[in-house]
Chain A
Amino acid sequence: MAIEDDVLVIGGGLAGATAALAAADRDVCVRLVTFKQSTLRHASGLIDVLGYASGVNGPLVDPFDAIADLPDSHPYRRVGEETIRDALAFFDRIAGPAYEGGHTDTNALVPTHGGTVKPTARYPASTAAGLASDPRDMLLVGFETLADFDAPLAAAHLDAAGVPFEARGVTLSFPGIRRDDAKITRYSNLLDREETVETGTGSATAREALAEAIRPHLADESRVGFPAILGDEHADEVRADLAAAIGADVFEVPMGPPSLPGMRLDDLLYAALEDASVRVTAGVPVIDYQTNGTGADRIDRVIVDRNGTEIPHRAEQYVLATGGLVGKGIRSDRSVESGSRDDDVRTDGVEPADAGGSAATERSGVVFEPIFDCYVPHAPDRYDWFVDDAFGEHPYARFGLPADRELRPLDADDEPEFENLRAAGAVLGGYDYAAEKSGAGVSLATGYAAGRRAGDEVGYRP
């Protein structure tokens, strides 16, 4: 017996969660299997659709304007503009009041912790009062024990960027935190749970004490920005309490990893999965697959490794959303020999390097997709995977699976690898999320398209 469902999604990041929700919308039985925590927990929580495009100077005003000019292999071109819009609408329904930006096609400009301004399509409600297009003056507050956000510096950068308001920064000590390297969850937990903390003048609740520390520094700014540590489960309440106590709007500036807004979005998606009755199996990897013999290009079941025990899971349709090089859905290796893969895998023209330690062994490398061994185009010489200029166009940034318009991964001959496998998110190739600022947008659009399609196909056998 295998554990059985209609649709099985592999990978629980933004792409996998969206795919599972989109499939569940079709009233089929969906399971999501995911291994480690997704990159969403490092990500800013902003949903970028397209911030920059090659050949266009500066941030894009309307991302949809630029989509037609993307190369045909780009995931956005594979799914089409209509689907991107549908996916965003789908996201807006799931996120509800937790996210804003859906009222317009135009990118919003959000100040980041470095004091740059980032174009993005959807942003958490907690950052709404901080938009750079808003002309109100702002006070940025940093903390001595939180090295990642230098408020005076960020304010100076914003001023230098020519924002239409005055920005000023102060650095304070956070009531109740002594350690230099206290975890961000420690800060948020103090505020969330309203713990009692010692201040110079006695003890107070954490929110109270924080507001108290800020009041003397506020001039006539009507909004105050904090690093994104303002609570977790009760973040809205923390923000509202602080705003009332300070007498100004309060917003969060998105931070680098690990990121509370990313974690909150992760929690929001998993709550939605629970509501949609998607079965979630987390903490264990899918390691292999089997076909049922009759049609070799149809996946019959996949194997989940539970701490050494191999558990078969069967479904009719599969979605692969295991992430890119960072999420480990795509992996690289020095050579075939040093890897743990079968010997018969395709290596895109790479001759398996001999084990003799020649120069070829040193230089040749393999980029591969470890579960289904789907085709990943890449240069045989690993020194060709990146360029010397750190900000140059690195080929590895685009590594990933090529796919057809239904998002089925394609082999070297442009044929679908399997008829019942679709891919979504960072495991797809052909785009550079860091350069384009398109990460979450691609995961949403392709997750939605792949999940929808998988849900529609259930019951359909050729």
Chain B
Amino acid sequence: MSDAERPTDDHVPGSDDFEPIQVFPEAEDMDLRPGADNCYKCSTCDTNCPVAEVDDEFPGPKFQGPEQWRLKRQEDHDIDSSVMKCSNCMRCDGACPSEVPLSQMHNAARGEYVDEHMDTFSREYVRNRILANYRRLAPLGAAFPRTANFVMGLSVTKWMGEKLLGITGEREFPEFATQTFREWWAERGGAQVRNENKRIAYFHGCYSNYNTPQVAKALVRVYERFGYEIMVPEQSCSGTPMFANGMLDDARRAAETNVRELGAAIEDGADVIASCSSCSMSLRQEYPELFDFDDTETVAENTWDAIEYLRVHEDLEAALEGTSVDGERYAYHAPCHSRNQGLDGQTVELMALIDGVDAEDVGDSCSGISGTYGWKAENYETSMKIGEEMFEHMDAADATTGLTECPTCSMQMEHGTGYEITHTLEVLEDALVGTKE
């Protein structure tokens, strides 16, 4: 009988004996062996990897995770550069029947690869750092939104981006809003509902602050409709683009701010709410996997997806029953990072309750953009090939608008189909408050 057939001893999900792995200061010391040993090489993860499906050159998650760790232990092996081709969609995590922590291994491997094998003066490093730290550039763009939108739209800017930095010229840069969400929030005088017993701290993330404040405003109006007092604490980027680029030092700095500020809000009686599925995934899963600041666990345990929270704490279904909006047909795409949190079904479930709304799920394929991944010139083609299935299903859907909860998925949906894209919270706002802008 081979080992694989023998009953194994294993970790039970949800039990508390999980030890967070501190990646810093010495990333190379982290030991993921227990996870690697759980792998019995069934290759289910490989069949779920959207990159391996279209790119013959990518060795796949089984290699990136458990095999690479074994090699490294045994023969003083270096991390393989192919780990940079992984898009961090985390589909392999959901696939593994043996609960191998694949994406955690990939994050760690990427961090080590960037630290040890990437020249910090190389074009690739500089470009990745810029993409990962979008949050630092965004304030500049937002300060002069019209100029920035104009300059970013110029073909010469695109050409320079492509030639100098390897940022694909095929995509339209997202537009900056003329007023950020935080500016709007300050202007209206902050929270308009006071409620000691129902309080949330809103983690708006970068994108809804600088680019789509209408999503953040929708959240505010929907939550105030249910009588919540909303806090908007200081915050930094969630860190997802940094993990995906192996910039773990940058991610750590951002995480430290977030854990501190959100931890304080929880102390004040708030639960943390995110409107972007990658942000909630990061706070709930990646933080505890990679860091152990004082409140990391507390923040993870008290962070919720915006819609999920209302479903559990309010009778959202009853509230939506009997509401109506002017007829709208949506093609819904569930982002990989919602899927991973078991949230992929909820939007279609809720939309079915609103009169006049029809939301069709366009299937379980990955959109292909995966944050900064599809922005890199060398990945553009792969990204579009992965997205092809979603584009086809969207084209075939009987719909007029796209619907999703992830900002980069929405860029890809728009780019691949020409659909206009909206966020589930905006539809809820329309149905429940009727003030959709």
Tell me the A residues contacting B by CB distance below 8 Å: 1-3, 33, 35-39, 41-42, 176-179, 181-186, 189, 193, 233, 257-258, 263, 274, 279-285, 287-288, 303-312, 325-328, 331-334, 338-341, 365, 367, 370, 382, 385-386, 390, 394, 396, 399
Contact = CB atoms under 8 A, between A and B. Distances in A.
Contacts of B284: 306-309
Nearest to A13: B97
A154 B172 CA distance: 53
A363 to B, nearest CB: 13
B48 interface: yes
Given A36-B99, A325-B7, A307 B341 contact: yes
Contacts of A332: 7-10
Nearest to A397: B5
Contacts of A282: 94, 339, 342, 344-345
B137 interface: no
Given A1-B313, A287-B14, A386-B1, A309 B302 contact: yes
Contact of A333 (B9, B47, B388): B9
Contact of A42 (B2, B44, B49, B281): B44
B100 to A, nearest CB: 10
B49 A257 contact: no
Contacts of A307: 281, 284-285, 300, 340-341
B258 to A, nearest CB: 15
Contact of B47 (A1, A41, A326, A327): A41
A82 B288 CA distance: 51
Contact of B42 (A3, A42, A179, A394): A42
Contact of A186 (B8, B56, B339): B56
A237 to B, nearest CB: 14
Contacts of A42: 42, 44, 97
Interface stretch (B117-125, B228-236, B304-312, B371-379): B304-312
Contacts of B343: 306
Given A178-B56, A281-B342, A185 B14 contact: no
Chain B CB within 10 Å — which of A176, A189, A390 has the most? A189
A345 B18 CA distance: 21
A283 B94 contact: yes
A385 B312 contact: no
Contacts of A312: 312
B53 A308 contact: no
A33 B342 CA distance: 9
Interface in B270-323: 281, 284-285, 288, 297, 300-304, 308, 311-315
B1 A257 contact: no
Contacts of A258: 42-44, 46-47
Contacts of B345: 279-282
B263 to A, nearest CB: 14
A1 B318 CA distance: 12
B186 interface: no
Given A37-B44, A258-B44, A308-B284, A189 B56 contact: no
Contacts of B13: 35, 285, 287, 305
A17 to B, nearest CB: 14
A257 B56 contact: no
Interface of B: 1-2, 6-17, 42-44, 46-49, 52-54, 56-57, 59-60, 94-99, 281, 284-285, 288, 297, 300-304, 308, 311-315, 339-345, 349, 361, 388-389
Contacts of B349: 279
A177 B56 contact: yes
A284 B342 contact: yes
Given A185-B46, A282-B344, 8 more contacts: A36-B94, A185-B53, A186-B52, A189-B54, A258-B46, A280-B345, A332-B9, A396-B7
A179 B63 CA distance: 14
B17 A340 contact: yes
22 contacts: A36-B97, A37-B44, A42-B44, A176-B56, A186-B54, A233-B389, A274-B361, A282-B345, A303-B14, A306-B342, A308-B288, A308-B297, A308-B300, A308-B301, A309-B301, A310-B301, A327-B97, A328-B10, A331-B12, A333-B10, A340-B12, A365-B9
A183 B14 contact: no
A385 B49 contact: no
A11 to B, nearest CB: 12
Contacts of B53: 183, 185-186, 189
Contact of A183 (B17, B52, B98, B341): B52
Contacts of B285: 307-308
B44 A3 contact: no
B411 to A, nearest CB: 23
Q: State the 8 A-B residue pairs at the shortest beta-carbon distance, nearest first.
A: A287-B14, A284-B342, A340-B15, A307-B284, A285-B13, A305-B14, A308-B300, A332-B7
B9 A37 contact: no
B52 A288 contact: no
Nearest to B297: A308
Contacts of A340: 11-12, 15-17
Given A287-B14, A309-B304, A2 B312 contact: yes
A351 B97 CA distance: 31
A328 B96 CA distance: 11
Contact of B56 (A182, A193, A281, A333): A182
Contacts of A185: 46-47, 49, 52-53
B282 to A, nearest CB: 10
B342 A304 contact: yes
B38 to A, nearest CB: 10
A36 B54 CA distance: 23
Contacts of A304: 342
B44 A283 contact: no
B303 A309 contact: yes
A257 B342 contact: no
B131 to A, nearest CB: 25
A37 B7 CA distance: 19
A274 B308 CA distance: 20
A307 B281 CA distance: 8
A182 B96 CA distance: 19
A91 B91 CA distance: 29
Given A36-B95, A257-B42, A306 B9 contact: no
A443 B94 CA distance: 22
A179 B57 contact: yes
B44 A257 contact: yes
A39 B44 CA distance: 9
Contacts of B302: 309
B312 A39 contact: no
Given A185-B46, A186-B52, A306 B308 contact: yes
Contacts of A179: 56-57
A36 B388 contact: no
Contacts of B10: 328, 331-333
Contacts of B56: 176-179, 182, 186
Contacts of B342: 33, 281-284, 304, 306
Contacts of A399: 7
Chain A CB within 10 Å — which of B7, B53, B54, B339 has the most? B7
A333 B54 CA distance: 40
A3 B312 contact: yes
B310 to A, nearest CB: 10
